[in-house]
Structure 1
Amino acid sequence: MRFSPQRTLATIVLLIATQTALAQAPKTVFLENLTWTEVRDEVAAGKTTIIIPIGGTEQSGPDVALGKHNARVAVLSQRIAQGLGNALVAPIVAYVPEGGYAPPTSHMRFPGTITIPDDVFEKMLESAANSFAVHGFKNIVFLGDHGGYQNDLKHVVAQLNKSWAGTSTRAFVPPEYYGTSSDGFNAILREHGFHDDEIGTHAGLADVSLLLAVAPQMVRLDKLRSGPKPGAADGVYGGDPRRASAELGQQGIDAIVSRTVEAIRKDTAGH
């Protein structure tokens, strides 16, 4: 084989470029994909807002996977952090209050749902927030994708801000996030001619459309389209998801992101 200086030079350049790329910090807003030194440097560079995304593991009818809220809040938190430009995203909280287990109540009546007590849930969130405060984050933002624990989040934020009085750290739970995913998106759907008995309150057209826009693999679409209208016995409350679509859901996703980014910027302005 003949020696080729050009080929050797090209190989060396490729190796250097590869090593340089590997040495750079990953382009991610997800905290768990960073090293501790990368987190330290991001905070020092001004990324002092941390988003704590909260989902849940619960039934959403026979045609939607149990991790609906986790998948949805992952995508939304990422887009919100990217829109803010000064935020990172904490690991998703997937264990949340979902009812009792002795006897089973609420979503716990359906196999696969996981629940924890409200006080345990609140203490976990407080501990996470205090951890981030220790590491230099100034704005601790809770984004809860599920309606059942919204009051818990408000209580946690009030307790944290009371304990942080006199410091430069604050906790927030922007109402625009959950408000847009429910009432705000419902208003968009009504503009398209859908009625409340189809939109629903849980696992109906609104809920499933949002999921189709971010994680369509979690919806058993063929079964959903061909099956009869599901009801409360199936875990679908007050709605009919059979005409759900990613196109409708994307309008809701865009609204949630834009309104939440605007709200967080307003809440944290000058802080």
Structure 2
Amino acid sequence: MIARHNFSFISSIVAIWLMTWLFSASPSNASVLLEDQTWTELRDLIKSGTTTIIVPIGGTEQNGPAMALGKHNARVKFLAERIAERLGNTLVAPPIAYVPEGSIDPPTAHMKFPGTITISDKTFEELLESASRSFKLHGFTTIVLIGDHGSYQGDERVVADRLNREWSKTPVRVFAATEYYEITERAYVEKLLSSGVKRSEIGTHAGLADTSLMLAIDPSMVRMDRLRAIPKLGAADGVYGGDPTRSSAELGKLGIDLIVQGTTEAIRNFIASRRTSQ
């Protein structure tokens, strides 16, 4: 009886030791998020070939009464992670939540709704530029800008072109991956139409397309009770050109697949073109 008890005790000790060893042996920096790394882990990742970083750009703005203000930030972070995982040797910077959203005095665009935060185009471009210079300093050679909002796509290109001219004699390049946003405006819309969605439902902001993407990524940010309420949401509510009533996670997943696949391909092509031109 005593021997059996001792054997059971020893077996338990061995099991605990094995679990501890397995836990300690697992990579502590398996996440693709930059902010999850220690500086020494990051240093080692860069040395071992992780030299691409994605800068996800969101925005804090009204998204109608049925969707939270942080939609763009949550969405671009989620999609950037999926893209980085597909690319390999890629990390994701913290999302940029402060972007141009219109003027304050008088308030224009989304600034007419409480909660929207705006900065000037100049400040925004300086922010992107400073972040890119930081990444260059630390050893990243491909800096990818992806933006979830339409208002600053041109600013992304301006910053990329400016830095690429300056860094033309270095191995570092900035890629404004505007394909990311273009897919949501074109390929995703076509996919929804082919799935039986009416064009009048899709909308340009907080409509079915926008809301479905959010339901597929983080449904907690969508207020389903308000989405289904009567009267239907419209421009006065901050919903432009569409009707989100029939939004669903299933429709959103169609967009996720297109965005991740298309953006990943665009980034790979950019990296490949640099290799052939060197």
User: Is the structural similarity TM-score above 0.5?
Assistant: yes
1:89-100, aligned counterparts within 5 Å? 89-100=92-103
Write the deviation string for residues 132-186 of structure 1: whole angstroms up to 9, x where unpaired: 0111101000010000111111111111101111000000012321111121111
8 Å Cα contact 2:147-2:178 kept in structure 1: no
2:194 to 177, 191, 196: 191
How far the C-alpha of 1:227 sits from its partner, in A, is: 2.8
Query: Which stretches of structure 1, 4 residues or more, deviate above 3 A after TM superposition?
Result: none
**In the alignment, residue 165 of structure 1 is paired with which amino acid?**
S
1:7 to 6, 9, 18: 9
1:70 to 49, 66, 73: 73
1:230 to 233, 251, 264: 233
1:202 to 201, 205, 208: 205
CA distance in 2, matches of 1:159, 1:143: 17
1:262 to 254, 260, 265: 265
How far the C-alpha of 1:8 sits from its partner, in A, is: 3.5
1:1-271, aligned counterparts within 5 Å? 4-8=6-10, 10-15=12-17, 17-18=19-20, 21-22=23-24, 24-269=27-272, 271=275
Q: Number of aligned pairs? A: 271
**In the alignment, residue 234 of structure 1 is paired with which amino acid?**
D
TM value normalised by structure 1: 0.95
Question: What is the DSSP-based 3-state SS (H/G/I as helix, E as strand, rest coil) of the residue aligned with 2:29?
Answer: coil
Write the deviation string for residues 53-103 of structure 1: whole angstroms up to 9, x where unpaired: 000000011110000001111110000000001200000101111111112
How far the C-alpha of 1:15 sits from its partner, in A, is: 3.7
Write the deviation string for residues 211-236 of structure 1: whole angstroms up to 9, x where unpaired: 11101110001221123221111101
- Which ranges of structure 2 fall in alignment gaps of 5 or more residues? none
**In the alignment, residue 26 of structure 1 is paired with which amino acid?**
N
TM value normalised by structure 2: 0.93
CA distance in 2, matches of 1:79, 1:227: 36
CA distance in 2, matches of 1:192, 1:20: 46
Question: What is the DSSP-based 3-state SS (H/G/I as helix, E as strand, rest coil) of the residue aligned with 1:226?
Answer: coil
CA distance in 1, matches of 2:243, 2:178: 26
Question: What is the DSSP-based 3-state SS (H/G/I as helix, E as strand, rest coil) of the residue aligned with 1:143?
Answer: strand
CA distance in 2, matches of 1:19, 1:103: 61
8 Å Cα contact 2:208-2:243 kept in structure 1: yes
Question: What is the DSSP-based 3-state SS (H/G/I as helix, E as strand, rest coil) of the residue aligned with 1:57?
Answer: coil
Of 218-227 and 120-129, deviating more is: 218-227
8 Å Cα contact 2:66-2:227 kept in structure 1: yes
Question: What is the DSSP-based 3-state SS (H/G/I as helix, E as strand, rest coil) of the residue aligned with 1:142?
Answer: strand
- Which ranges of structure 1 fall in alignment gaps of 5 or more residues? none
CA distance in 2, matches of 1:7, 1:120: 64
CA distance in 1, matches of 2:161, 2:248: 38
How far the C-alpha of 1:197 sits from its partner, in A, is: 1.9
How far the C-alpha of 1:252 sits from its partner, in A, is: 0.5
Of 176-185 and 70-79, deviating more is: 176-185
Question: What is the DSSP-based 3-state SS (H/G/I as helix, E as strand, rest coil) of the residue aligned with 1:238?
Answer: strand
Question: What is the DSSP-based 3-state SS (H/G/I as helix, E as strand, rest coil) of the residue aligned with 2:214?
Answer: helix
